[in-house]
Structures are given as C-alpha cells and as structure tokens.
A and B are shown apart, each in its own frame.
Chain A
Amino acid sequence: MTAIRGLALKAALVSVLLFALFLGAWQVATTPVGGSAVGAALTPEQIEYARMMGKDPGAQKASGFPTPGQVAATIVGHLADPFYDKGPNDKGIGIQLGHSLARVGLGFALACLVAIPLGFLIGMSPLMRRALDPFIQVLKPISPLAWMPLALYTIKDSSASGIFVIFICSVWPMLVNTAFGVASVKREWLNVARTLEVSAMRKAFLVILPAAAPTILTGMRISMGIAWLVIVAAEMLVGGTGIGYFVWNEWNNLSLTNVIFAVLLIGVVGMLLDMAFGRLQRAVTYVE
C-alpha cells in the first residue's frame, strides 16, 4: 500500500518536473535571442531611427511563436468570459465547445439507438450475422470524413452533416462490440433463462444486456473517442460553429495563442469524456 502511494507520489513528481522542463524549453525557444541581442547592440539613436522607419525591434517577439506566458494570459482571458457572443466569427469558447459537444452527443445518441438493437439482432441470430457481415466489413473502414460530401449534398445542412458524420463513425465500434458481447453471453445463463421460461423481453433486459454490458460499454468508449477526434476535423471542413471551426478561424487570424489554447482544450475535454465512459464501464462490470 505504502509502496503504491510512494510510486504515485514519485510519478506525480516526475510529471511536474517534465512539465516544468517543457515550459522552460518552450520559454527559451520562444524568447527572441537574436532580436534582443540586436536590440542590445543598438544605440538609443539607432533604435529611435528604426522606430521612425516603422520597424519596432521589440515587435519581432509578437510575430513569432507565442511564449508560455502569452498562452497563459489567453487561457485566463477565455475562461474568464466563455459565453460571450459577438457575431458569427467571435463567440466565447464555451459556446463553441457547447456546439461541438451537442453535435457529438446527438450523433452518438443516434448511433446508440441504431447500433445496440442491431448488435443484439446480429449477436443473437447467426443468419443475420452472416447476412450483414459483408456490409459491415465494407462500411467500417471508410473514413467518416469521406461521407461528408454525400452528407452535405443529401442533407444540405452543414450542422446536420456534422452530426451524421459523428453518427457514422460512432456506429461501427458499438455495433461490432454489441454483437460480440451478445453472441458470447454464457450458455449457462441462457439455459437458466430457458428453464425458467423467461419471456423474450425479460431475457433481453435482465440477462443478455447485463451480461454483455461491459463489452457494449467498451464499444461505446471507443466510439466516443473516435467521435471526439472526428468532430474537430468535421467542423474545420463545414465551418460555422464548434471548437474545430474555432481552431480553423484562429489559424486564419494567425492567432497561434488561440490555436494552442483550443488544442489544449480539445485534449482536456477528450480526456474527461473518456474518464466518464471509464466510470460507466466500471459500474456495469461484474466479477465472476
């Protein structure tokens, strides 16, 4: 116990150290060494002259890669007022994130509604498994973004197309895992249900679903991971709103600090989503 505690503590220490090292390296790399050296070599008159010519020697800093301090200031700025809305190209980060999460949530929920019942069907019926297998094998490896043009053409709405892309990328891991989980429910449990003459509905909800739940949730967790990867790319493509669009828009504004902030945020939100599904997974896992 104490050994594990000690290990966790050491690991945390190393993590902090590595982070500090990274920040330090970043700081050093972004401090314009050349610029300040030149600045130091110049006499005040020469600096004055340069200013009058419209070349601010200090300004070199601003056009380069942002320093950790600048990024930190941006983060604080965004988090201080996350929900402002000043027109289509200037919305608070909370609003953008909300749009992304809503799309992911909707597409993911639709995928659940399709994949879980269909996975049950495939898992329980060897006939359906064989009949649907070729379709699944062909559709599964298609990059979700490849569907985007077709979605845009048929649905015509960019936001709905984003939801469709999330749906299509979430559906496969869930479908495959549900089918596998349902097909590998232990025979003895099914036999118990048979000798008890349990109705089909009770069997589905009280025996097969709990037995397959850990496998199904693994599928959902994988799906959510993929959906969060895909939403950023999808929003960069279709634009309008969302964290992906925010990244693209800030790139067009050449605001690297905002891009870095968004990248960080995407990572943190992805981690939180994964942790939530990890919790759920643990809640339905049973020990035999």
Chain B
Amino acid sequence: MRMSTFLRVERLSRVYVPGKPVFDEVSFDIGRGEFVCIIGHSGCGKTTVLNILAGLDAASSGYVFMDNREVSGPSLDRGVVFQSHALMPWFSVRKNIAFAVRSRWPEWGREEVRQHVERFVAMVGLSHAIDRMPAELSGGMKQRVGIARAFAIQPRLLLLDEPFGALDALTRGTIQDELMTIVRETGQTVFMITHDVDEAILLADRILLMSNGNETAAGYRAGRIAEVVDNPLPGTRTRATLHHLEGYYPFRNRIVDFLVARARAA
C-alpha cells in the first residue's frame, strides 16, 4: 500500500573529511502519510541526513525534493522534534508553542492562537501544565511539549531525531502510544531516527537500515542505506500485542542481525 511519493531523496552525500564522506549514495523516498524510521549505529550519519531533510544542513551532493520541489533551507513545511527537546527555557509551555504558532500564522489574533495552542497541548495530555516553565517539567513532559510544538504548526513532513532517547522505558511507551494515535488520526508523514528496534517496528511502515562508513581492505567505504524493509505487521498493531503477532520475531531478528553483523562490516 505504497502511497504517492511525497519526499524523494537522491544520491545524498555529506563530506567532512575530504575523500571520506560520512555517507554517500543515500537515496530513498517517503510516501504521503507514511511513517519511515531509520536505524543505524551511532555516528553513521542519521542526524546529518535528518538535518539535510530539515534544511538545517546542506548536502555535499545530491538532492532532496518535497512534492517535486527542491528543499533548500529550513521551512515551516517541515517540523522538527529535536533530540534535546530544544524548548526555550524563558518561555512557559504555552508561550513556547504560541511562538511556533505565531510564526506559522502571523495574521492570527490572540484568541485564535490561544485556542490552537491549547488544543495541541491537550493532545499530548499536558493541559494541567500549560503555564509551567520547561524547568518545572519532567524529561518526558518536555519531550511531549516538543512534539506538540512540531505538530502545532501542522507541517507537511514531521522529522523526529531520537525523540525518546533520553526517556525511561515506561514514559517512552506512553509517549509512543500517544504519537502513534496522533499520527494515525492526522495521517501525518513522518521521518524518525531511533536506536530502539521495537520502537521502529511499532511505529514505522518502513524501516531504513543504515551502515557506518568504515575502512575495508579495498579502501574507505562510506555509510549508506544498506537495506529498506517493509513492516509486515498489521497496521492495527499496538505496543501491548506487538510481540504476540505472527511475523514479529522473524522481522525483529532480521533488523537485529543487520545491526549486529552487517551495519559496521563492509
């Protein structure tokens, strides 16, 4: 059930050390309404890819097209949830989100902004904490504010950089559920980085497996998208039932095998 292509990434590479690109020949596409996860070892270049998609970093070569238009700089069309939540500590939760909403719709009146902000804060279940400062929130709550902020501008593509990396397993599960519900309700297109195989299996329609750049007998080999795997599990999967589903273990083993055996080696 591949949807119409929304984002197309063509032969991307990023070079810091001349002759040794972090990755090259990275090509993939994302369908409208699709949830794509990327998995790979630390340092393989996942954040770099995401930053290029966001327009925050420039590729050394290659192109990114969204809706057939080339991406060349950050835009409100692409919302980013940063690994480190990146809330402004001098703004309350309300103001953090209002800052984003006003940037998206500068013509909106005070009341319109307020309603919109409250709707998205309620969506992540933080209505009771809306007037608190970020420093008064737990790590999980901050991450949820970051997600609400990205959703509130209703971007056409949502980019998430290990959004739950710093959270404990329990909180992580809750927010994964929340994210899944919201994405299913809104039909949001998502590109997400994760280190957690189960998280990818739960959320993603498709998983990109990325290998690290490394030295081989035949010389340096840049990182790349080694495999793209479609999620065979039904779209109604939930966190609680995931490991009971038929096909879960073979799928999981395939990804883990890749990470253990092939992600680093040539």
Contacts and interface: CB of A to CB of B under 8 A. Distances in A.
Nearest to A214: B90
Interface stretch (B38-46, B79-87, B226-234, B240-248): B79-87
Interface residues of A, number: 20
A197 B103 contact: yes
B104 A191 contact: no
Interface stretch (B70-78, B118-126, B177-185, B216-224): B70-78
A191 B103 contact: no
A288 B79 CA distance: 23
A55 interface: no
B135 A191 contact: no
A194 B86 contact: no
B150 to A, nearest CB: 9
B86 A210 contact: no
A151 interface: no
A279 B158 CA distance: 42
Interface residues of B, number: 23
B89 interface: yes
B88 A207 contact: yes
A197 B74 contact: yes
Contacts of B80: 191-192, 195
Contacts of A287: 89, 133, 135
Contacts of B90: 210-211, 213, 284, 286
B100 interface: yes
A196 to B, nearest CB: 4
A194 B56 contact: yes
Interface string A202-219: 100011001101000000
A196 B135 contact: no
Contacts of A284: 90
B203 to A, nearest CB: 22
A191 B153 contact: no
B99 interface: yes
Determine which residue in A192, A206, A211, A284 has the highest number of CB atoms from chain B within 10 A of its CB, and name it: A192
B54 interface: yes
A206 B99 contact: yes
Contact of B88 (A192, A195, A213): A192
Contacts, number: 57
Interface string A185-198: 01011011011111
B249 to A, nearest CB: 38
B135 A286 contact: yes
B56 A197 contact: no
A288 B135 contact: yes
Interface in A72-117: none
Contacts of B79: 195
Contacts of A194: 55-56, 74
Nearest to A198: B103
Nearest to A202: B103
A28 to B, nearest CB: 55
Contact of B104 (A186, A196, A286): A196
A226 B82 CA distance: 42
Interface of B: 54-56, 74-76, 78-80, 82, 84, 86, 88-90, 99-100, 103-104, 133-135, 153
9 closest pairs, A vs B, by CB? A287-B135, A196-B103, A188-B86, A210-B90, A286-B89, A194-B74, A286-B90, A195-B74, A288-B89
30 contacts: A186-B86, A188-B84, A188-B86, A189-B86, A191-B56, A191-B80, A191-B86, A192-B88, A194-B56, A194-B74, A195-B54, A195-B55, A195-B56, A195-B76, A195-B78, A195-B79, A195-B80, A196-B99, A196-B100, A196-B103, A196-B153, A197-B74, A202-B103, A207-B88, A210-B88, A211-B88, A286-B133, A286-B135, A287-B135, A288-B134
